[in-house]
Amino acid sequence: MHLDGLADLADALGASHRDPQRFLTVLEDPHVGTFGIVSIVLVVMLKAAALAMLAPDALWAVPLILAWARLGTLAWGRWLKPLKPGRGERFSWQLPVGWIVFWTLSLLAASVAVAPVLCAAPLVIAAWGGWLKVRLGGMTGDCLGAGVEVTETALLLLVALTSGAVAGLL
């Protein structure tokens, strides 16, 4: 589901040429285009390479990476306006900020214990949200799914690059 969001977003960005109406039209098209296929292949390759580079003790970070990426959907849905009715709009309900803060603090504490580099996750989440705000003016369900994939990939690469196996090579 999240890879589909990434593919749809890539196709829409590639085909819209900054025309907001064309962007939404392509985003709704159920077919996957060239930009979508390339984005899926690149993300899967990056994730596979990062997983292969992980030191055995760094595998404990993987569940945290998944949790951080899903926390991002709560934050983006809370702070970005929906671009159109749909699944993204369903996530934009008024989630109390207290829950986002609670889960952020919980994940930060777990990250300090397991993989301190994951404390950069809020920056990755904020960067994706900022990019959506500046580039698109808001979000859709596809943007949320793409954000999960982008966040997972970025955090997985961070952990891989700082894990013992890779750090010894550098």
Residues 135-161: pLDDT tens digits?
999 999 899 999 999 999 999 999 999
| Cα dihedral 65→124→75→24 (10° resolution) | -110
Q: Which of 13-22, 101-110, 159-168 has the lowest mean pLDDT?
A: 159-168
Q: What tens digit of pLDDT does each residue of 58-102 get? A: 999 999 999 999 999 999 988 999 888 775 566 556 678 899 999
Locate 29 and state its tokens.
């098209």
86 contacts: CB under 8 Å, gap ≥ 6: 140, 141
Question: What pLDDT is recorded for position 1?
Answer: 74
Residue 82: strand, helix, or coil: strand
- Ranges of beta strands (E only) in 18-141 are none
The pLDDT of residue 59:
93
Query: Measuring CA to CA, how many Å separate 87 from each of 48, 83, 92, 122?
Result: 29, 11, 9, 23
Closest CA to 122 of 168, 170, 49, 69: 69
Alpha carbons 163 and 51: distance in angstroms, whole number? 11
Provide mean pLDDT across the span 104-112: 98
Burial of 108 from C-beta contacts in 10 A (0-12 / 13-18 / 19+): middle
| Maximum alpha-carbon separation in the chain | 50
Determine the pLDDT at residue 167: 52
The model's confidence at residue 37, banded by pLDDT at 50, 70 and 90, is very high
Helix (H, G, I), strand (E, B) or coil at 23: helix
Please state, for a pLDDT cut of 90, what percent of the chain lies above it. 70
Q: From CA 130, how far away is CA 99, in angstroms rounded? A: 21
Beta carbons within 8 Å of 71's beta carbon, 6+ residues apart = 100, 103, 104, 107, 121, 125
